[in-house]
């Protein structure tokens, strides 16, 4: 009986993983892709429907598996079966949000802490923020699948043991909120959020490999590999900013020079180069406007969409794009990436994103340009990184419990 039960749990997990990567799918498709019998799929789906996890949808458009003129009953994970909390921790900014299982944002909160590494204050902030959201949305812990918490790389140093930190926080959150907690790095959470909520809707066009690049103080990157439709994404960290590519714990190539991509293309790098240009010149329209408002000039150039780039600031953006182009070119060649996705607040400025695309077209071959995209995740919703981790680990934990 135990072997049969374990096999059934494994089938449930595989089916949910497959459905999570597809907006809609039929029983026939599931059986074909997973190599299961139709009767086995029917039995598992029956349980999942009874538990409210999965629902049927009729008369959807024809797909690859259907014959012309034939309609099927399709299946999908119920988006509001349960909800998930996502938390992102960046320096002194804590973002907390609530979404359904397909990333639709329901509520969000932002908090500033003087010291986010003070675990007591950090936990107090998370618990209070989640509690307020639950009260305002008339929910309780029974409605929540999991809470996913993602940390910026700057959070960790030699004094912080990840496993000890996760265990300590998990115990407190379980006690105070009665919610299953899971953890990951921010860049990995963003990668999974892109895959679950924005990128993968159809297994026939889903990339087998894609690189997710987040432009912050430094350029953080993850490589996501999807070997089979029903398996999890395997993530490997890439130090894109220093041109060091690491895959399966083995260094493939190291192209570091005196300068690095971080020096030219990270947010800090671009801001420093903009400040160098204007430090001795105060006569441009940009300088005059923002001196009056007492705002940082580089922030205005990068993040204010009402500011048109002048030739001086445009030269900095062009230089940053040239360095990014080198990284993209080598990444696609070395890692056989099918998609390179960029994210970060800088790309939310249409002036920057348009110039970014134009400059890359000058640098990269046409077949590479089609592989470059800008993320659908906005900075204000960066907590979706945690929501995605909560969906991933929460569904796995739910299957183990039923």
Question: How large is the average pLDDT for residues 209-231?
Answer: 86
Per-residue pLDDT for 58 more than 90? Answer: no
Provide the 3-class DSSP secondary structure of residue 42: helix
Beta strand 219-225 with 73-77: parallel, antiparallel or unpaired? Answer: unpaired
Q: Give 278's pLDDT tier (boundaries 50, 70, 90).
A: confident
pLDDT tens digits, 151-167: 998 887 767 788 888 99
DSSP string of 169-228? HHHHHHHHH---EEEEEHHHHHHHHIIIIII-S-TTT--SEEEEEEESSSEEEEEEE--S
Query: Distance between alpha carbon 280 and the CA centroid of its chain, in Å?
Result: 40
The two tokens of residue 396 are 């796995």
Helix axes 38-50, 2-20, angle to 10 degrees: 80
Per-residue pLDDT at 203: 45
In Å, what is the CA distance from 391 to each residue of 2, 213, 232, 402?
Answer: 27, 22, 12, 16
Q: How far apart are the C-alpha atoms of 75 and 239, rounded to whole Å?
A: 39
Q: How far apart are the C-alpha atoms of 17 and 282, rounded to whole Å?
A: 56
Per-residue pLDDT for 223 more than 60? Answer: yes
Question: How large is the average pLDDT for residues 137-143?
Answer: 95
Question: How large is the average pLDDT for residues 220-238?
Answer: 83
Q: How far apart are the C-alpha atoms of 246 and 261, rounded to whole Å?
A: 16
Q: Give 346's pLDDT tier (boundaries 50, 70, 90).
A: very high
Question: How large is the average pLDDT for residues 182-208?
Answer: 79
Per-residue pLDDT at 295: 63
User: Which tops the pLDDT comparison, 243 or 140?
Assistant: 140
Question: How large is the average pLDDT for residues 281-301?
Answer: 64
Per-residue pLDDT for 169 more than 90? Answer: yes
Interior angle at CA 216, CA 375 and CA 366, nearest 5: 45
The two tokens of residue 284 are 């441009």
The two tokens of residue 246 are 């690491």
Per-residue pLDDT at 172: 96
User: Which tops the pLDDT comparison, 313 or 22?
Assistant: 313
pLDDT tens digits, 86-139: 999 988 899 999 999 999 999 999 999 887 778 899 999 999 999 999 999 999
Per-residue pLDDT at 3: 31
Per-residue pLDDT for 341 more than 90? Answer: yes
Average pLDDT in the chain: 84
Least confident of 97-101, 233-237, 281-285, 347-351: 281-285
Of 62-71, 109-118, 349-358, give the range with the top mean pLDDT: 349-358
Q: Residues 155, 116: contact at Cβ < 8 Å?
A: yes
Q: Give 204's pLDDT tier (boundaries 50, 70, 90).
A: very low
Per-residue pLDDT at 70: 58
Q: Give 248's pLDDT tier (boundaries 50, 70, 90).
A: low
Nearest to 324 by CA among 262, 232, 250, 402: 262
Per-residue pLDDT at 67: 52
**How buried is residue 361: exposed, middle or buried, by Cβ count under 10 Å (0-12/13-18/19+)?**
middle
Question: How large is the average pLDDT for residues 140-144?
Answer: 95
DSSP string of 312-358? HHHHHHHHHHHHHHHHHHHHHHHH--SEEEEESGGGGSHHHHHHHHH
User: Which tops the pLDDT comparison, 371 or 255?
Assistant: 371
Per-residue pLDDT at 34: 85
Percent of the chain with pLDDT strictly greater than 90:
43
Domains (range + CATH), the chain: 2-77 (1.10.10.10), 83-184+382-401 (3.30.420.40)
Percent of the chain with pLDDT strictly greater than 70:
83
Q: How far apart are the C-alpha atoms of 93 and 85, rounded to whole Å?
A: 16
User: Which tops the pLDDT comparison, 229 or 189?
Assistant: 189
Helix axes 2-20, 384-401, angle to 10 degrees: 160
pTM for the model stands at 0.87
- Close Cβ partners of 210 (under 8 Å, ≥ 6 residues apart): 195, 199, 223, 224, 337, 338, 339, 340, 341
């Amino acid at each position: 009986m135990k072997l049969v039960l374990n096999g059934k749990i494994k089938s449930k997990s595989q089916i949910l993983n497959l459905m999570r990567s597809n907006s809609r799918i039929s029983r026939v498709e599931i059986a074909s892709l997973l190599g299961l019998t139709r009767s086995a799929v029917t039995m598992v789906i029956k349980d999942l429907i009874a538990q409210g996890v999965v629902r049927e949808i009729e008369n959807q458009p024809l797909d690859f598996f259907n014959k012309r003129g034939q309609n099927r009953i399709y299946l999908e994970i119920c988006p509001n079966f349960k909800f998930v909390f996502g938390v992102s921790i960046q320096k002194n900014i804590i973002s907390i949000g609530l979404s359904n299982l397909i990333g639709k944002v329901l509520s969000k909160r932002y908090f500033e802490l003087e010291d986010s590494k003070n675990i007591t204050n950090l936990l107090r902030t998370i618990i209070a923020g989640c509690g307020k959201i639950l009260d305002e949305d008339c929910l309780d812990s029974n409605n929540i699948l999991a809470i996913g918490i993602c940390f910026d790389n700057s959070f960790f140093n030699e004094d912080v043991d990840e496993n000890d930190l996760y265990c300590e926080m998990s115990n407190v959150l379980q006690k105070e909120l009665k919610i299953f907690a899971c953890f990951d790095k921010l860049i990995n959470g963003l990668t999974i959020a892109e895959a679950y909520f924005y990128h993968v809707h159809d297994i026939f066009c889903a990339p087998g490999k894609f690189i997710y690049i987040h432009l912050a103080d430094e350029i953080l990157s993850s490589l996501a590999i999807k070997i089979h439709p029903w398996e999890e994404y395997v993530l490997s960290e890439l130090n894109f900013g220093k041109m060091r590519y690491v895959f399966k714990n083995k260094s493939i190539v190291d192209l570091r020079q005196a300068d690095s991509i971080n020096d030219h293309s990270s947010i800090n790098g671009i801001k420093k180069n903009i400040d160098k240009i204007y430090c001795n010149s105060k006569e441009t329209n940009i300088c005059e406007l923002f001196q009056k408002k007492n705002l940082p000039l580089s922030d205005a150039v990068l993040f204010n969409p009402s500011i048109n780039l002048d030739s001086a600031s445009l030269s900095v953006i062009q230089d940053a794009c040239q360095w990014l182009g080198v990284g993209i070119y080598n990444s696609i060649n070395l890692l056989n990436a099918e998609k390179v996705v960029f994210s970060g607040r800088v790309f939310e400025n249409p002036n920057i994103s348009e110039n970014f695309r134009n400059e890359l077209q000058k640098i990269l071959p046409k077949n590479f340009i089609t592989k470059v995209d800008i993320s659908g995740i906005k900075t204000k919703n960066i907590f979706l990184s945690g929501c995605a981790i909560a969906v991933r680990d929460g569904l796995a934990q739910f299957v183990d419990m039923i």
